[in-house]
Amino acid sequence: MKIIPNLLVRFILLMLFFSFQTPHDYIEKVSLTDSVKSDILSEIKIEEGSGEFLIEGGKGHKDKFIKVYYHKPKNFHSQSKILIVIPGAGRNGDSYRDAWIDEAEKYGVLVLSPMYSEKEYGFEDYHLCGLVYDMDLRDKVTYIENSNEVLLNEENLTFKVKSNADEWIFNDFGRLFESVVDVTKSKQVDYDIFGHSAGGQILHRFVLFYPNSKANRILASNSGFYTLPDFNSALPFGMKNAPLEEANLKFSFKKKLILFNGELDNENEKGGTLLRSTSADKQGLHRLERGKFFYKEAKSKAMELGFKFNWELEIIPDVGHNHREMGDAAAKYLYERNE
């Protein structure tokens, strides 16, 4: 009788365990030994069609997993584009991946969508990218009845700023890209990245705080609120207490950031959750208004400092807070208009 290798046995047992978990909560429930964890992480495979694999959390999150949903098109080759898709607050990397399958096949793009467990990556780790820690939101937020709005009492909000850039979430994107390049034998030296809602929040902060990445075109879509390139206002609405200086903005403004905003993501939109606070409302009273304000403020700052400004503002007609429709528009922007 042929003996099954020890690694395969552990992998099968692990997959049997996962099969009884729902897609979004299994990572929160499972605890693995270091040896099994090492084995699974070394077994990243990307085959034609849709699938998923695990990568280890970054520095400060080494005990955690990130599950990555992917779709590899039939016509994939070494020169095919690679796109990372960052989910919104629902952390639903599977449905974000699914929304891009048709586009992946049409344009020959390898799509990767990482899912961060909400239990392991809270608001400060995900929306705010790990830029802050020890943020206690209890008793600081009030859900406004019969609306999608959440009121934040920011005057009583306390937190600490994380100055170690190695522990910010942005590092995961480069690690993911490099791992996939290695596995697929891709010749790509950079990647595109799209994020919607909370994902859009992550990506505009990605540009501000981590501009020396391998990301090429960065589409931040329908963000709920913004961190302004304003060193007179504190995080998370400004950069006064951030471990950066105004001179760093020179590199941020050079990046290809495209602010994607739905024309109908306005005062009538009830989808998603909208943060309301003194500082957030200064940016506007709805997402479309806030996106326009952020772009205007950034462009003005670049002119003030004499820095080159490569950002764009795109208003998508007849679309509200809908990641599928915004994704359709993003695919056309990336792989039709700009090819």
In the predicted model, residues of the chain with pLDDT beneath 70 are 1-42, 338-339
What pLDDT shows up at residue 338?
54
For residue 294 the two structure tokens come to: 């952020």
Q: What are phi and psi of 93, to 5 degrees?
A: -60, -30
Quote the crossing angle between the two packed helices 170-184 and 198-209, to the nearest 10°.
90
What pLDDT shows up at residue 174?
96
What pLDDT shows up at residue 42?
52
For residue 179 the two structure tokens come to: 């791992």
Looking at residue 320, its amino acid is: G
For residue 256 the two structure tokens come to: 């290809």
pLDDT in tens, 77-135: 999 999 999 999 999 999 999 999 999 999 999 999 999 999 999 999 999 999 999 99
Element (H, E) at 299: helix 287-305
Which contacts (CB < 8 Å, 24+ apart) does range 289-293 have? 290/223, 290/224, 290/225, 290/226, 291/222, 291/223, 291/226, 291/259, 291/261, 292/261, 293/226
> Quick check: 234 and 240 in contact, CB under 8 A?
yes
What pLDDT shows up at residue 31?
44
Q: What are phi and psi of 163, to 5 degrees?
A: -85, -15
> CA 69, CA 62: separation in Å to the nearest integer?
20
Cis, bond preceding 236 (omega within 30 deg of 0): yes
**CA dihedral of residues 263, 265, 270, 271 (deg, nearest 10):** 110
**CA dihedral of residues 29, 35, 36, 38 (deg, nearest 10):** 100
What pLDDT shows up at residue 245?
94
Element (H, E) at 263: none
What pLDDT shows up at residue 32?
47
Q: Model pTM? A: 0.88
Q: How many CB atoms lie within 10 A of CB 33?
A: 9
